[in-house]
Every structure is written in structure tokens, then in C-alpha cells.
Amino acid sequence: MKKTYGIKETWKGSSETEAKELCPICGGKGYIIKHSPDAQDTIIFCKCREMDKVKRMWSFSGIETQKNKLTFKNYKIYNEATEKAMDTALKYFKSFKLIKNTRKNSIAFLGQVGSGKSHRMNCF
């Protein structure tokens, strides 16, 4: 006989049918039940739950990462300042693996409205 559990919720309140399509690991519930023959079963959070949390945080900022079409290639340079800003952002992106554990590992995007700050940030 199949063991049943009282936990019927799915992650983010989606229906069970939709949830099964969301995550192949947990079926969209956001957790996995680890069965143990010698001890009490335990529940652990699935990786998809953390990914969903990150996506929600991005959406709260007004940036929908799934629909993002902004890339380094389609950035339009229109003067020396935007060219220098793009070169700096690209250099930072390419060297990040080398500098990520150093003290000087951050970048700031400053400039006028319409100068491409958000576009460059989304490229990352």
C-alpha cells in the first residue's frame, strides 16, 4: 500500500497539475520528503524554492528576468561616455571570476536618465 502524507500544499499555491510541470524534483511543492526506515521522515526545501525566491525578488524590483532581452550586444552606444561605460561593464563582467573574492569586487552604475544604466545592469 502506498504511503500518504497530510501535506497537500503546492509551492506558491499552484494546482497540483501545474506544480508537477514546474519542478521535476519536487513536483512544484517546494519541498521533498526524505523517507527513513529507522527514523522519522524529514522535509527539506527543494532547490526550486530558492530559485523562485530569487525570481520574486527580481520581479519586486520591476525587472522580469525571464523576459529580459537586454544584452551587451544590443546596447546602443551613442557617445564617448556610453562607450566607456559599456567597455567598463564588459571588462568587469569578464574579470568577475578573478576578482569576486577580492576587496575590489563591485561596480556602480551612475549617470543621467537614459544613459543605459539599467540596460548594462541587466546584461549581467
Determine how many CB atoms are found less than 10 A away from the CB of residue 28: 23
Provide the residue-wise pLDDT of the chain in tens; the chain has 124 residues. 444 333 344 444 444 444 445 788 888 888 899 888 888 999 999 888 888 888 788 777 776 666 677 777 877 888 888 888 888 888 888 888 888 898 888 887 888 888 777 777 777 7
pLDDT score recorded for residue 21: 54
* E-state strands within the chain: 31-34, 42-45
Distance CA 107, CA 13 (A): 37
C-alpha cell at 98: 578573478
C-alpha cell at 66: 525571464
Q: C-alpha 107: how far from its chain's center?
A: 19
pLDDT score recorded for residue 67: 63
* Beta-bridge partner residues of 53: none
